[in-house]
Every structure is written in C-alpha cells, then in structure tokens.
Structure 1
Amino acid sequence: MNTRENRLGRERSVKSLMLAGGAAIAIGAAFGTAAPAQAQDGEETGKPAEEIVVKGFRRSIETSAAVKRNNKSIVEAVTAEDIGKLPDVSIAESLARLPGLATQRVDGRSQVLTIRGLGPDFSTALLNGREQVSTSDNRAVEFDQYPSELIEQAVVYKTPYAGLIGQGLAGTVDLRTVRPLEKGERIISAQGRVEFNEDGSLNPDSPGTGWRGSLTIIDQFNDDRLGIALGLAYQSTPTQSERFNAWGYPTTADGDLIIGGAKPFVQSNDLDRIGVVGIMEFEPTDSFRTAIDIYYSDFQEDQRLRGIEFPLFWSAASLEPGFTVEDGFVTQGVFSNVTGVMRNDFNRREAQLFAAGWNGRFDNGRWGLEMDVSYSQADRQDELIESYSGTGYATTGPTDTLGFSLNSKGFFAFSPTLDYSDRSLFVLTDPQGWGAGNNVVQAGFINAPETDDELWHLRASVNRYMDGFFSNAEVGVDYSMREKTRNIDQRFLTLPGGAQTAVIPDAALLDETAGMAFLGIPAQVTYDPLYLLENGFYDSVFVSLSSFSVAQDWTADEDVLTGYVRFDIDSTLGGVPVTGNAGVQIVYTDQTSQGFRIPTSGVISGEIGAQAELVEDGDKYTHVLPSLNLIFNLTDDTLVRFSGARTLVRARMDQLNASLSLNTDITRLTSTDPNQSFFSASGGNPKLKPYIANAVDLSLEHYFGGAGYFAIAGFYKDLEDFVNSNDAFIADFSQFVASELTPDQQAQLGTTLGLVSGPTNNGAGHIKGAEATLSLPLEELSGALEGFGFIASGSFNDSKVILSTIPDPITVPGLSKWIANTTVYFERGGFEARLSHRYRSSFLAEVQGISATRILREAKAESIIDAQIGYRFEDGPLAGLNVFVQGNNLTDEPFITFDGGDERRVIDYQSFGRTYLVGATYTF
C-alpha cells in the first residue's frame, strides 16, 4: 500500500531540519523589508517593556495579574517565568490552572480545553492575534501541537470586543510569542530536560526515557529599531498507559448487567516534535512599525499497543453458573469457550502545522491605519494498524476458561487458563471470523484518516483618536477563506493466497514480551506488526464505509466577511472613572460542503465494492454581534467590570458533512407528504447555522501588592441554535430524481422533498456560572512569610439545554459543574518550590470511537497533583542558571469513562503513571 509505505518509511528528522532551516531562512530574507509587532486590539499591556522579562514563578504571577488588570475585557493570563520556560511542561497544562478552565487528557497529555463549562468545540485559538487551524477532525485546537518553550504568554478572553476576529462562544485563547523590541536587550536562552515514567516502558520496543531541549535568541539592531527572535524547540517524550476497555454491559436473562466483552491494552507512546518560531520587528520611525511572524511545528507520535480482546457475553462464550451479582451487577464469574483475539497494534500520527503573518501599522497620534495578512495550514495523517492472532481461524482453535472479577479500581481483572505467552499456540489469523461477511480472512485492519486545513485572513482597519467620552474609534474589515478536508482510507489485512492461518515469523517476534499484569495476564506473544506489513506477510483489501453507513470523506469551505466598528471609552460617570469599549461586528458567511452519496444498492456497512458519488450543498447567512465592555474604577485598586455581548461559534465540520446515504421507498412514490415521501436519507447537514450566545458577565476585582489580587465573577449565556446531532430535517432531493427514477416514475413522483436524519439547530437553553480567585503573597500578611504564597480558584457551572427531540435537558459536552485549582509556592534566595492541584468534576468527554471516529462519553472526576523544586543562581559564575526537578500526576490519577450514567459500567480506564523531569535553563 503506497500511502502507508510513503508515510511509515519517511525520514522525518531530515524533513524537520530542512523545514526548520527554511523557516529561519525566511526570517533572514525578510530583513530586507519592513516588519512588525503584532498589535492586540482593545488591550493595554500596562507593563513597561523591561518588566516583561520574567524571573521565576512569582514574576510570572505579577505579569499575568497586570495583563488581567489592564485589559478592557474579562481575561485570564499565564506568562513565562523565563524565556522559553512556562510554569508547566505544556501550554495546555498552564491554561488548565486558570480560573474557570480545565483540560481533557489524551494519552496522558492535556490536549483540549474547556472554558466556563463549554468544551473545545465552543472556543477558538489565536496565535499572535490571528485565528488558527487545527489538526483535529473539527475546529478544536489541540494545544499539544504548540511547544511551551516557544510561547511567551497566553491570554484567555472570556468576554469579546468588536475587534476580536475569530472569537469563540465560550472564550478565545490567544497564544503569544516573544516580541523582540519589547525586550530591549540581547537574550540567549537554552534549556534541556530529561523525562521518564515510573513504569519505564510497558512495551519492549518503545523507549522509557525521553528528553526535550530549546534554544531562543533575541536581539535588537539599528538603535533598537530592528528586532529579531528565533526559537527552536525539540522534544522526544515517552508516555505509558495501562488501559482497560469494555465493549459495553448487556443484561442477563434475569436483567442483571454483565460485561459484554473487553479490549485491554498496555500502550507506549513516543512523541517527537520540533517547533520553530521566527519574529522580526522593524520600527523605522515613531509612527510606523511592521512585523513578520513565522511558526512551524512537525509532530510525530508512534503508539504501540498490545493486549487481548475478549468477546464475552456478546459472543459464543458461556457464562458458567455460580457468578456473583451485587445490586443488579455481575461482579465475578467464569466464562467458558472464550476465543480471545490477541492484538499487536501500531498507531502513527504525523502532523505539520504552519502559520505566518505580516502586520503593518501607521500611527501619527491622531489617525492610525493597520493591515494584517496571515496564513495558517495544518496537515495530519494517522495510520491505525490492527494485527490479530489466535489459536485458530473463526473460533476453531483451543478456547479459554476465563475468570473475571471486579477489582478495587472499578474495572475487571481476569484469570485465564490459557497461556497467552506460548508462541507455539498462536498464529496469524481471524480468530473470531470477523471478515466472513466479506469473504475475507480478516487478520488485521487499517484505519488511515487524513485531514488538511487551510485558512487565509486579510484584515484592514483605521482608527481616529478623540477627546471626550470616546477616546478612540476604529472601523475594520476582515476577510477569511478556510477549507478543511477529511479523508479516510480503510483496508482489511488478509493473509497471502487466501490462507486462514499463518505462522508468526521468528523475525517479527520480540525477545521480550509485553503483558497486562495490572489485570492478571503477565505476558503475551509479542511481535512487530510493521515487520509483517513491510515484508509481505499481509495483503490489503480496500473497504468502503467499514462501520459507517454514511461516507466519512468530506470537504468544508467557509468564506467569511466581517466588518466591525469599535469605540473605546475613557470618561467618568457620576464621578467614577469608566473605561472600556462598545462596538458591533457584522459577519457574513458563505459555507459549502462536499461529500459523497452511496447509492441505495451500496448502503451496507463494510461493503467492499460500494461506489460513491460526489454531492455538494451549503448556505449563506449574516449575523450581527454587538458587544459592550465597561470598567468602573471604584478606587485605584478596585474595579467592577460589566460585559454584554452576542457571540457565535460555528458547528463542527463533521456535522456540516454533505455526505448522505440515500433511501427510496417505491410504495411512497406518489406521496406528497415530505415526512412520508419516496426519498429519505441519513447524513450531515451542510446548512447548519452557528451556535449563538447572548452573554452577560459581571466581575469584581481588587489588586494589592505586585502579585496579589482577589476576583469574583458571574456569567450567564443564553444559547440559541444549539446543534441537535440526532434530529431530522426536510431536504430537496431533486438532484437524485434522474438517477433513481425512470421517466414514467418521475411523472408519478409526488414530491422531491424528503426527510434526512441528521443534525439540526433545534436546541436552546442556557449556561451560567460563578468564579472566584485569590492570589495571595503571604508577605502581605507578615514579613516573616516573604517568598511564600498561593493562588486558589474555584468555579461552578450549570446548564439547561433542551433539544427538540429530547424532553429532558442534555449534558453539555465538556461541562464540569465544579473546577478548582490551587498552587502553593515558595521563592526566596534562589530557592524555588511549588505544589499544584487541579480538580474537575465529571464531564462529557470526546474520545476515540470505532474506526477513528470521535464520540462523546461520560468521564469521572479528576484530581491531579504536580510539584516542582529548583534553584536559581543569581550571582557568581553560574548566574543565569536555573536547575529544577518536576513531578507530574503524582497520585497516578486515572482517566475513566463510563456508560449510561452508571459509574460501575466503566468503558475506559487509563492509568498513565507518574512522570518525572530533571532539567536546567541557562539565560545569558
């Protein structure tokens, strides 16, 4: 299979270095032109440039507090401690410590973000103020694509303003790289870390130790009129996971819940990523500045998974008498006649992310003119390879008598009688006969989804400074073009010559074995599936649809024209100083989706030869989005904020999928009722409108000292056009009349309208919440406590969303009712230590489903503890050196999902172990 061979055989290290060098050359070439510092509309940093050079966690808190205080919107911020050193190992984990924010872990890493109870589909991400594409299947940005070493600051806008392009409904995350002219001095910073997991490696062919390093160079030239910054970050990070997965929980004849099947694994991940950033700023005069930013990330993750899939109650296995039932749940027993499917799987993800932008601004003190051009592009290629072995073809080999019991952690452990490490007992085969329906011996399977996402932005604005109630007026326009494509290649892996079994070659077998001792199976036959693929031990057979009745290949195009006007406020009301802004955006959208129709004769899941026909549909619409931000300065240190805004976020792109499976009913040929017509279908909805929120926010903030503040806030969002993913709508099937009906039948057709089962905007409701934060340097209470301090925040979220087809309120994806974050720290005399805790209550998580799809599933509450200790040399020959030791997930908190609102029905239990890092940063 050429696509697989091209991807798996590629020398990525060479490509990465070439692209990294290319990015650096592009920055160098730009020196012959003018270049800019990206302005952040509607915001004042309020900090002199030299104070942005942070030193230590305390300084990070001070700078972030200043950003929060001086912004005209309600925001949260996190700032690097030193050049190239955020407070955490990833930008996602740093964001997760902010009030009202939480992350979901994927393979042990914090990856996607929840803001104020709304999951990743409801927020957007910017890089230096510019909207970014995503490597995910939809719009949600996967923050592990951004090396923390290259991020100087992240600002989360909880309330928008009119000039904020690409704003989200829940919030907007703006990742910011360093601005060289603001530093005012040459800085060279290098960093290195070694990291490892307490479990070592769970698979013998994966590393147990990794490392990461970075280098940042910042300098200024031409009397500080020209500034450059170059950053390079590389990481090779291993993570481990012990995974229990249940098929589900059917009921016995007596109505008791029982495990239907299990698919446990030990999983080892090896992530390699290189990131490059280049910034050039040029300010030839006091009235003109320009800047060029380039960012590139190349990401590869290899996953090795080994385990045994046990079909149990949902199979030919027999539940033996004598099992134990507790409160309607079978907790212990024995299955006989069990045919396990031994798995030696391999997954690879490759992703490339590129972003570039140019900005120029002229400002003479009365008028300002600004232009910005940007491009963002992301490619992702996944290859999910399943390799099966067993004792014989289609349940004909020796079977197991398998004991099972619910352990104290909430998942099932097993007691086999079969020796799963016996190489003489297992062969390559289709142990369950899964491929029989397609007349193939399914000895494995490949899912290979790919996405490509491109976004262009062109923006221009003009502003006029004024005296009076309004201090500034700005008018702007932004035009964006986005195209995202998803394709999936699926193939059966069969044995050459139509054989039912094949011996596992010695060359593929590994000297050491993997095992699932955590659930009672200490070892299994362990081999390298890539060796089998690359040396002719498998043939591949293309399959259409696999487990889908609707094609999963699609392209979504969006052309968006946004005009806005914003007035900045700087005045007094009743003797109280008032600042802020008021404005409106008018957003025109032209959206189109292309997909595929499977003819009525081919709408069969797993069809090998089904043919697809291209279909296209879309819509055009306009939204008016007013916004108001007011700040009442009650005293020099106490302020009240009020915000009201109408915001939108666009529907998931897989829900805009134009693909459909067409159904016809000749008995309804003459019917004129669209609900009972000849045509019907299931699929996506390319006419979906965005989610809409009418939001009100109120915040009280009091600041003291450099890093101290207290804030309490409340919000309410009235939600409109909420997407109901399991609904139906009327559509016109005129384009299918000629292909599906004879001329005589066309004359008899009652209507071309019909019912499509798919997503609609027939949902509405609200989400509300409250947040409180206290940042307290304890020296404010007593000088004896100098260096001690803590930051604590808590938030409560609640929602009520009703879909037209469901009378009861739904669970909003990503919503945790309670989120709490606490960090206790000490910094004095160069010594640094901190202990952090983050908690989120149960929530609806997005996880991987069958055939590389994404599904929603309930997740249990999480409580994660991290710690760091270090020493900063402030004087002498080692001045500038910072050494540290860090431990993450110190309580080995698992990620657990469950089914049906019953926490006993665990679907996925993932334990990632404790991770430790030892590192040093040197700045000179």
Structure 2
Amino acid sequence: MLQRNKLSLSIGVAVLSGGLFSPLVVAQEALFEEITVTGIRTSLQDAMSTKRNADNIVDAISSEDVGKFPDKNIAESLSRMTGVAVSREFGEGEKVSIRGAGPDYNRTTLNGQSVATADWFILDNPARSFNFTLLPSTLISSLEVSKSPTASQDEGSLGGTVNVRTHRPLDLAAGEGAIAVESIYSETSEEMDPSISGQYSWKNDSETFGVLLSATRQDRTVQRSGFEVLSWTDEATPGIMVPGTMGAPTFYQERERETYFLSAQFRATDQLLFTLDALDSTMSADNMNGNWLVFSGDNAAEHAANGEISGSSVVASEITGAGRGVVNWINRVSSSETQSLTLTAEYESDVFALDVVLGSTSAEGGTYRETSWEYGWDGGNYAFDLNAPSLSTNPAPSDAEAYTSTAGWIWGGEKPTTDEENYFQVDLELPVDAGAFTAIKTGIKVRNAERTQDRIVYSWHGADTMAGNEDLADTYLDYILASCPTLASCGLNSGGTINIDSPVGGNATEVIEQMREVMEEIAFGGLNGVSADYAISRELANNWEVEEDIFAVYLQADFESESFRGNFGVRYVTTDQASSGWRFSDDSWGFDTLDREWLAPSELEWVTVDNKYSEFLPSVNLAYDLNEDMVLRASAARVMARQNWNQISPFETYGALNAPDPKGQAGNPELKPFIANQLDFGYEWYYGDVSAFSATLFFKDNQSYLVQETYTDARYYEADDVWVDVDFSRPANGIGGAVSGLELAILHDFDNGFGLQANYTYTDTNDDVVVGISENMANLMGYFENDTFGARLMYNYRSEWSKGFHWNGNPLSNDAYGQWDASFSYNITDNAQLTFEAVNLTDEQIIEYSEDEDRLMSLYENGRRFAIGARYTF
C-alpha cells in the first residue's frame, strides 16, 4: 500500500531519474538483513532496478551510499542530485532549491510527515523552507525527492518534496548495531571538533516486536570572515551608486547538535502492524559577530566625484579628515529544537489495505538574548577598494583608545519563534482486477499548524534604568558610556589584538579581540557596583501569529500492463488561515514597554485577518518500456505551494519618520498560494549492469510570482506632532511565468573498481529574479572501490542565483559557486573501517552582489574542513 510502496522504493535506491549518489556519513550502513550488498557496484545495480520500476519521477539516495562522501547533513547530500541546489552561507548546507523553485516552495517530510523547524539565526524570517542543519546525515536510511507528484502525496511543493526515510527495527537483524567517531578540523577556526553517532536495533525471536535507537552528537566551531557592503544608494548622487556602509565582519559560533531517534514496531497480527517514530533534535547555536564599519554614505558626493567608477558604481575611493566609523560587536544566545512523534497503524488483507497515521511535531528556536555595542571615531581617514577588496582606516581597528563612546550605542533584544503541527491521515487501498487497473486508492488528511514570532527589544536608555542611582546618570546607557569612554576603559580590549584570516586587504583584519564575557557582564550584570537595568519592550510590528487548518482528500487509480504502468488521480485541498498581529497607534514609535511605565500606544488591539482558498490538484504519471533496456516517462500535474509565514502575517514596520521620504514594509494576510502546471518527459537507457543514461525535460507554467506593491499611508511623528506619509511595500500576487529545463545524467562502471557519475541541469525562466534558481547546475564524481579501499572525488557547481532582497531593500544575488570534495575509506576488517574526508578543497568563497557584479554586497570565506574517523559495525 501507499506507505509500504514508498518504503520499497527507498531501499537500495541510489539514482532515480539521473539522481547522483549522495555522500552521507552514517554508522548504520551495513544493517540491512534482507538486502545483502557487497559493495557500491551491487548497490548501483539495485538502484537502477528500482528506478526502472518506479511509476513517477523520483530521485533518491540509499543508505548503502552513506559514508562514501563527506556530507554532514541532508542538504549537502541532496545537492548531488540533478535539479537540486543548496545554500552554504555558513559553510554547511542549509536550504535546498529544486527545479525552478526556491527553498521556500519545497516541502521536507520525515517518513512522509511534516517536520517542524525554527531557525536559530536572528536575520532569518520564519518561512516554509526547512533548515537541514538540524538533521544529521546519520539519521537516514534513504532520501527521496519526488519531482512529479501523485494524488496521494501531500501538496505544498512547486519543485519537489524531500522525504527523509529512517530505518525500522523489524526490517533489520536483531542485535545489530554500529558506532562511528570523527574528529573534524575547520581551517578558519583552527579547531578540532568531535562527532559521534551510533545505532542499535533489536527484535524478538518471533519478529513481532522491535526497537531501534539512533543517536548523534556533533560539535562544530564556525568562523566566517569576509567583507560586506550593507547598502548601495544614489539618493545623494543620482545616476551613481555609492556604498552606504561597509565593513570587514567575522562571525563566530559554537554549534552543539544532538539528535535522537527512536522507532518501535509491534506486529499485533499477520495483518496489523503498529509503528511509533520519535525524533528529538536540538542545536545550541550561540554566536557573535564583529564588524569594523565605515559610513561611506556620509561622503557620497566626494566618492562620486573623485572615486573609481565601474559602470555606474563607485568601487574604490578614499576620504581624509572627514570619515566616520565604528566597531559593531554583537553577542547572541541562540538555539533551535525540533521534536516529532508519529504513530502509524497498517492493516493489510486480501480485500483491502488501510493505513492510519496520527502525529505531532513542534519546534522552537531563535535568538533568546542579544546585545550589540558600537564604539566609534569621527573626523578620521579611510580608503576602500571593492575590486580586491580592501579596507583601511585611521584610526586603526587595533587602536582601543581611539574608539570612543561619544559615537557609540548599545542595544539588544530577543526574537524567538515557534512552529507546531498536528496531523491525522487515513489511506485506503482497494486491489482491483479490471483490465490494466490494479488498485484504487483514496484517503484524507487533516493538518493544523501554527507559526509564531515574538520580537522584544532591550533599551538601556529606558525610563528608571538608574533607579536609586540617579545622581550618577540619567539612564544606565549614559552610565555605561560615561564609565567606559573608550574601548580600553572597562576592559573591552582585554583580549588584545588579533589578526583575522580574512580575504580582505588593508588594516581591517588587525583588530581588537571581541570580549563577549566583558560585554555580557556590563550589559546584564552591572558595572562598578551599579546593577544593570534595561527596559523591555515589545516591537509590535514584528510580533505575529498565523494559524492554518488544512483538509485534503484524494482519489487515485494505479494501472499496469506488460509494457506500461502508472497512476492518475486528483487531490482536493482547502486551506483556512488566520493571521494575527497588533494594530496600534504610532504615538510610542511602535513599541509597548512591558516591565515599566515608559512607551505605550494609546490604542492597542490584537487583530486577526482570515483567508481561505481551495484547489483541485490533478496528476498523471506514465512509464512505458520501449524494450528491455529503455524506458520512456511522462507526467503532468497541477501543484501548489503556500506563501511564507512571515509574508502572510499582518506585520508592519517603517524607518525614521524624521528622515526624507520614509519607507516601510508590511505583510499581506490575503495572499493566495503559488499555483503551477507542470509537464515532465523522460528517457532512460540501461546499457550495462551498472551503467545507465537518462534525460528528462520539465516544464512549469507558474500562475503567479510574488511581487512588491507600494501604497502610501500616514504615520504619527510624536516629536514634531505631525503626520508623515510613509511609502509602504508589501508582497502581492503578480503575474506568472514559465520555467523549463533539462536534466542529464550518466552512470558508468568500468568493471575494474573504477566508475564515473555525472549530471547536469539547465533551468530557463522568463523572470530574472526567481529566488533560488541557477541556470546551470552540475555534479561530477569519480570513484574507486575494492574490498579494502575506497575513494571518491566530486565537484558540485551552480551558476549565479537570486536571493531576493537584502534586508536594506537592495536586490541580492549570489555569484556562481563550485566546490570540490573528497573522501577515502580503508577496511581494516569486515566490521571496522577508517575514513578521511575533505570539504571545499580549493577554499571557494561565497560572493554576493546587488544587480551588477561591480556592486559587491558581501564576500565570505568559510575555509576548508577535514575529518578523520572510524566506524565499527556488529
């Protein structure tokens, strides 16, 4: 039936529709009992057989390929497949794009069900994309990416649905287990971090009850250095774009990830099977960022007149005696947690098969405490060159006495998010014998989801923050800045200076070391016997809640004859959304102080906006055997993806009302979902035992893209007692466009231990700003494996792609990115293996720009990573 068919599809699959075998590092690779695999060659044979017998277009990765490549999470493994691209902002795969659809428009499921997610990074907005850093590659038995949906499959993806399959105890031998340990060296942080994972599976002699437990602990020290331009503007220099603020940042993070998975099965009768799956994944993600900034926008006119201009952008310039800059230090306490619990009952008889699924998943995460400090200088010199790039300042970033509190500021806050979903599903399969028809499937699914975001700000200059000490200062912020007039005054430079290994020239890399403990103690503990105090206020525009009730029903027919097979059906889905947020007057600058009398809007109301829509989603999949070696495929479907949570929330935010032409942003609770009609045509040629070629054409007619619409509304500016017009922008359903592409893949085994795998994806769209889409993507891998030794060398490439808009409003694109990785293994015995892995061998950089490649936005260097490890199975 539905679930069992999917499971059988996943076992042994390495490539479907040209997918590339992914490198996963799991300890349990040799735990299968029914399928005996002696090496990669046999695994590829099983994969080719499964691919050929599949009804719809699915790419997959089997557990037999686990451990062959140096991927540390599932996103990196997915990047080896045709049509799948991955983002690597912090050097590790985080989010995936599939076949013309960005990360926010593809679903990820665990054993066919939703997995809640809550990002740890404060600059991330709650979206429908899944952060794969929470799921280590050790968790899986297989990965599936469904590119042509069936009616029985959950809706919600434009490009594809990623399903993570885990091991089940009744499928494995009793008393089998595995353990793996690794030590991972990161070149940028120069730290060695440990990783350990293990799995144990047991079942009774009658094979009616079994339990499997998998556990993983991974630590990682992250350091990312680079160069950033925080804004580009031509407001003061029409026709010439000038960098507004630029700096040389370094990001530090200590990641500690623990993932536990439990699967218990009970076969009550020969026909009835119960399965309970439980997942708990937590990641501590405390981080800090240091950035040495110059306010180049202050000198825009001089840059435009005297600087080096490329195209219409200033790319190099210098200022003498009129420069202004700061050091911006940020400390964050961040984490993310995900849990899921699913109970499945499967009943199968000669007359019908029935599956009932009941489950719940939840996540919470974000930044739970943040503090940001700025100390600066005024009237100095600076020079920059974006061609290299380089940044130098006078005073230098190593001069603690020159960075003073007169140009400083301290602020902070919280941004926690939650994600919850409860689900209930019933699937009924009726075997039939009516010509080519073999089964009728029907079912329902009910889902209730809730997504929330809170935004709290800390104000050290708030009212009564010096209660009992008013003779020393008006506010605690005044007291800090007066007591610590320079970075050297209160030990903020007590770590001395360090040289940051960064791809930036100039003196911006010789800097004062960031002292997190000193900052935290002053901000949250106290200073010179005076206790710290700060006002706590709700930032009303960024506090929201979205609830979603989904009901789906489907009907599907499966058919098969001597030369063809497939399915067709329709899925009907209704979605009820309730988006809630604060409606408030603007007489408190959009804040509501919670712990004292200070800022309070005269009008404050929690409002809810309802939105409802329904869709019919038909689909058909057909596979035709031309002969014993060749298969033709065709599919057609109507697919949908719901809008991002933050976009349908009723939030509103705007800039300073005393600035010229103030701008604002808002959400749109009445957004309709994305709809697309798609076609796929595939050809597969199995010309050898472990050799195959495949080609797939895909077409998507997107009914709408997300656009920004502008409207003007007045907001009250209390300081001058006036109403000011604000130009707001908000997301809206715009006109659609077409996406088409070609996927090519080849697998060739040379019968002497050597082999080659390669794939290429071309994607064409009539809209240049479709987020997450690269025109060209490719994977190349060469491998060698015998009974003792294995080696793989791989290259992963994607051309430039749009990332939407920077938080400052500038369009943002990522330059082309290509990465070389390698892995080696040595079998000491049949049960023990040594491994060595290398990631990003050529030390590739992540480069972002705005509209034009001369308009650099950021350059980041994550460095190389090397891992040495050992695995033992028993």
CA shift, 1:179, in A, is: 1.8
Please say if residues 307 and 515 of structure 1, whose CA atoms lie closer than 8 Å, have aligned partners that are also in contact: no
CA shift, 1:868, in A, is: 1.0
Among candidates 736, 745, 764, match of residue 798 of structure 1? 764
CA shift, 1:553, in A, is: 1.4
Are residues 1:472 and 2:427 paired? no
Equivalent residue, structure 1, for 2:837? 886
- State which drifts further: 249-258 or 100-109: 249-258
Count of residues paired in the alignment: 796
Task: Determine helix, strand or coil for the equivalent of 1:263.
Answer: strand
CA 1:349 to 1:63, structure 2 compared with 1: closer, same or farther past 3 Å? farther
- State which drifts further: 82-91 or 98-107: 82-91
Gaps of 5+ in 2: 14-31, 120-125, 462-474, 655-663, 714-726
CA shift, 1:46, in A, is: 7.3
Equivalent residue, structure 2, for 1:70? 53
Equivalent residue, structure 2, for 1:777? 749
Equivalent residue, structure 2, for 1:579? 565
| Correspondence list, 1:174-573, <5 A | 174-201=163-190, 208-251=191-234, 255-314=239-298, 323-336=307-320, 337-383=322-368, 385-390=370-375, 395=378, 399-408=379-388, 412-427=389-404, 429=405, 431=407, 443-468=409-434, 469-494=436-461, 496=476, 498-499=478-479, 500-503=481-484, 504=487, 509-516=493-500, 518-521=504-507, 522-526=509-513, 527-528=515-516, 529-537=519-527, 539-542=533-536, 545=539, 551-572=541-562
Counterpart amino acid of 1:917? Answer: A
CA shift, 1:506, in A, is: 5.2
1:109-136: CA deviations, max 9, x gaps? 1100000121111110110011222224
Q: What is the rounded CA distance, in whole Å, between the counterparts of 1:603 and 1:53 in structure 2?
A: 67
1:112-161: CA deviations, max 9, x gaps? 00001211111101100112222241111111110111111110000111
Q: What is the rounded CA distance, in whole Å, between the counterparts of 2:692 and 2:369 in structure 1?
A: 48
Q: What is the rounded CA distance, in whole Å, between the counterparts of 1:890 and 1:606 in structure 2?
A: 51
Counterpart amino acid of 1:813? Answer: V
Q: What is the rounded CA distance, in whole Å, between the counterparts of 1:896 and 1:126 in structure 2?
A: 31
Q: What is the rounded CA distance, in whole Å, between the counterparts of 2:358 and 2:384 in structure 1?
A: 60
CA shift, 1:884, in A, is: 1.2
| Correspondence list, 1:772-921, <5 A | 772-779=744-751, 786-800=752-766, 809-845=767-803, 849=807, 857-873=812-828, 878-899=829-850, 901-921=851-871
- State which drifts further: 652-661 or 72-81: 652-661
Q: What is the rounded CA distance, in whole Å, between the counterparts of 2:10 and 2:158 in structure 1?
A: 24
Task: Determine helix, strand or coil for the equivalent of 1:259.
Answer: strand
Gaps of 5+ in 1: 1-35, 202-207, 432-441, 663-680, 731-754, 780-785, 801-808
Counterpart amino acid of 2:370? Answer: I
1:589-640: CA deviations, max 9, x gaps? 1111111123254566999835342111112222111111111122233211
Task: Determine helix, strand or coil for the equivalent of 1:891.
Answer: coil
Among candidates 663, 667, 676, match of residue 693 of structure 1? 676
| Correspondence list, 1:741-752, <5 A | none
Equivalent residue, structure 2, for 1:735? none
Over the residues paired in the alignment, what is the CA RMSD in angstroms?
3.2
Percent identity over paired residues: 25
Are residues 1:766 and 2:766 paired? no
1:14-63: CA deviations, max 9, x gaps? xxxxxxxxxxxxxxxxxxxxxx9953559745769646566665555445
Equivalent residue, structure 2, for 1:656? 648
CA shift, 1:305, in A, is: 1.9
Please say if residues 772 and 794 of structure 1, whose CA atoms lie closer than 8 Å, have aligned partners that are also in contact: yes
| Correspondence list, 1:124-203, <5 A | 124-136=107-119, 137-201=126-190
Please say if residues 651 and 690 of structure 1, whose CA atoms lie closer than 8 Å, have aligned partners that are also in contact: yes
CA 1:625 to 1:329, structure 2 compared with 1: closer, same or farther past 3 Å? closer
1:789-815: CA deviations, max 9, x gaps? 111000111112xxxxxxxx4511111
Q: What is the rounded CA distance, in whole Å, between the counterparts of 1:329 and 1:606 in structure 2?
A: 41
1:455-487: CA deviations, max 9, x gaps? 111011222111132111111111110111111
Counterpart amino acid of 1:70? Answer: N
Are residues 1:39 and 2:7 paired? no
Counterpart amino acid of 1:404? Answer: F
CA 1:870 to 1:790, structure 2 compared with 1: closer, same or farther past 3 Å? same
CA shift, 1:512, in A, is: 4.7
Equivalent residue, structure 2, for 1:749? none
CA shift, 1:756, in A, is: 8.9
Equivalent residue, structure 1, for 2:583? 597
Please say if residues 45 and 66 of structure 1, whose CA atoms lie closer than 8 Å, have aligned partners that are also in contact: no
CA shift, 1:883, in A, is: 0.9
Q: What is the rounded CA distance, in whole Å, between the counterparts of 2:59 and 2:753 in structure 1?
A: 23
Q: Which has the higher contact order (CA 8 A, sep 6+)?
A: 2
1:308-363: CA deviations, max 9, x gaps? 11111335996598644455544433212222211222233211100110111111
Q: What is the rounded CA distance, in whole Å, between the counterparts of 1:388 and 1:869 in structure 2?
A: 46
CA 1:890 to 1:112, structure 2 compared with 1: closer, same or farther past 3 Å? same
Please say if residues 12 and 64 of structure 2, whose CA atoms lie closer than 8 Å, have aligned partners that are also in contact: no
Please say if residues 306 and 514 of structure 1, whose CA atoms lie closer than 8 Å, have aligned partners that are also in contact: no
Please say if residues 638 and 701 of structure 1, whose CA atoms lie closer than 8 Å, have aligned partners that are also in contact: yes
Q: What is the rounded CA distance, in whole Å, between the counterparts of 2:286 and 2:671 in structure 1?
A: 36
Q: What is the rounded CA distance, in whole Å, between the counterparts of 1:898 and 1:338 in structure 2?
A: 24
1:698-733: CA deviations, max 9, x gaps? 111122545432110011111124332436699xxx
Task: Determine helix, strand or coil for the equivalent of 2:628.
Answer: coil
Among candidates 685, 709, 712, match of residue 692 of structure 2? 709
Task: Determine helix, strand or coil for the equivalent of 1:651.
Answer: coil
1:178-198: CA deviations, max 9, x gaps? 122222343211011111122
Please say if residues 116 and 339 of structure 2, whose CA atoms lie closer than 8 Å, have aligned partners that are also in contact: no
CA 1:888 to 1:497, structure 2 compared with 1: closer, same or farther past 3 Å? closer
Q: What is the rounded CA distance, in whole Å, between the counterparts of 1:310 and 1:193 in structure 2?
A: 42
CA 1:629 to 1:727, structure 2 compared with 1: closer, same or farther past 3 Å? farther
Please say if residues 282 and 291 of structure 1, whose CA atoms lie closer than 8 Å, have aligned partners that are also in contact: yes
Task: Determine helix, strand or coil for the equivalent of 1:260.
Answer: strand
Q: What is the rounded CA distance, in whole Å, between the counterparts of 1:356 and 1:449 in structure 2?
A: 26
Task: Determine helix, strand or coil for the equivalent of 2:104.
Answer: helix
**TM-score scaled to structure 2, two decimals?**
0.85
Q: What is the rounded CA distance, in whole Å, between the counterparts of 1:45 and 1:691 in structure 2?
A: 29
1:511-535: CA deviations, max 9, x gaps? 3534446332243222223233332
Please say if residues 60 and 78 of structure 1, whose CA atoms lie closer than 8 Å, have aligned partners that are also in contact: no
CA 1:401 to 1:543, structure 2 compared with 1: closer, same or farther past 3 Å? farther
CA shift, 1:173, in A, is: 0.2
1:182-224: CA deviations, max 9, x gaps? 22343211011111122335xxxxxx22111101001221322
Counterpart amino acid of 1:478? Answer: K
